[in-house]
Amino acid sequence: MTENIKEILNKDFFSKEDLITLLSCEDGESRKIFELAAATKKKYVGKKVYFRGLIEYSNYCSKNCLYCGIRAGNSRYVRYQMTDEEVLEAAIYAYQNRFASIVIQSGERNDKKFISEIERLLIEIHQLSDGKLHITLSLGEQSEDTYRRWIAAGAQRYLLRIEVSDPELYTKLHPNDRHHNYYDRLEALKTLRKIGYQVGTGVMIGLPFQTIDNLADDLIFFRDFDVDMVGMGPYIEHEDTPLFQYKDTLLPLNERFRLSLKMVAILRIMMKDINIAATTAMQTIDPQGREKAMMVGANVIMPNLTPVKYRQNYLLYENKPCLDEEAEECKSCLEVRIAMAGDEIGYGEWGDSRHFENRNEGKGE
């Protein structure tokens, strides 16, 4: 007989079976999960939500992930790279508006020119903010040497989603070549940890071929890897991608959303002091998606600082919000949304992962 949700939620450690039960429960039952997640967030990370100003630096990508709209094989988008001035302007905006942190994200490139451009930008951003603006990178798999150069130039955190934690499922969602290798990605995450980054990872939820069993494994992956930050959200099909052919096999959008919300809530209960993002993909399905994620555990949000002229070319998935809103509009919009979720914005605070801090304090003893 399966245990009831309440009994499972009383445990200190969830088994895979527990996670499957929690992920499969009915809407009425998930309320209990959401309540405990909200209380856990309040107790361990507080009511503050931290801004990470998002700079979508470039949509050039050398990879061909089968789900992603800006994959190299898609010729529909005009490829762009922001100028240094545009990046620095966005960084200054973040600094002056007391965002305290920015994220630089782009498609994956490993050429020397790109690596040095990022290094140079990191140094300049560090200088212009007197080291007060913390920088997260989300630039894919790179060599250990590159990761070292970028941390030396001023980055503190790195986001590299594992996308799915099951190696077999990974091969169904990526071309089977040496550029898309699950074990290389895992190795890259380990290297980032070793070098001293605050490491974030994440998955997509509701992918073709993905099961509840896979999602339970994803949560266990986060716990076993002992990640500092997680960003995850629903998979949203994109017409110009190979995976689009499976669109009729997917969960309906509202169910993908509910499942994503549950993943956030369960993860908050499991990993009490990590940073969890309320992702844009959540809002793509539900107009109040990010508020709902904050109410069940998310404590980080990424206002978009990319110049509006580039936004329609950075569509990893369809119906992405904020295509026409300038930085100022996204900021005001999020201020209202965060207040609606009953939280406050940690202006001027780095909002580093407490989990990272706690682990490193432990090391010194």
Instruction: Work out which of 66, 68, 199, 229 binds ligand 5AD, going by CB under 6 A.
Output: 68
How many other C-beta atoms can be found within 10 angstroms of the C-beta atom of residue 5? 20
Interacting residues with ligand FES between 286 and 345 (CB under 6 A):
304, 322, 325, 329-330, 333-334
Residue 70 CA to residue 168 CA, distance in Å, equals: 23
Q: How far is the CB of 347 from ligand 5AD (least distance, A)?
A: 26
Instruction: Work out which of 108, 117, 273, 325 binds ligand SF4, going by CB under 6 A.
Output: 108
Interacting residues with ligand 5AD between 307 and 326 (CB under 6 A):
316-317
Instruction: Work out which of 23, 173, 199, 236 binds ligand 5AD, going by CB under 6 A.
Output: 236
Amino acid at 153: A
Kindly state whether residue 203 participates in binding ligand SF4, applying the rule CB under 6 A.
Answer: no
Phi, psi of 287 (to 5 degrees): -55, -25
Tokens of 127: 């200088």
Tell me the site size for ligand 5AD, rule CB under 6 A. Answer: 11
Bridge partners for 105 per DSSP: 56, 138
Interacting residues with ligand SF4 between 52 and 91 (CB under 6 A):
61, 63, 65, 68, 70-71
Tokens of 8: 């499972």
Interacting residues with ligand 5AD between 163 and 192 (CB under 6 A):
163
**Closest of 303, 265, 312 to residue 283, by C-alpha:** 303
Q: Which is nearer to ligand FES, 154 or 231 (CB)?
A: 231
Q: How far is the CB of 164 from ligand 5AD (least distance, A)?
A: 9
**Closest of 21, 57, 47 to residue 340, by C-alpha:** 47
Q: Which is nearer to ligand FES, 198 or 280 (CB)?
A: 280
Phi, psi of 161 (to 5 degrees): -70, 135
Measured in residues, the chain has a length of 365
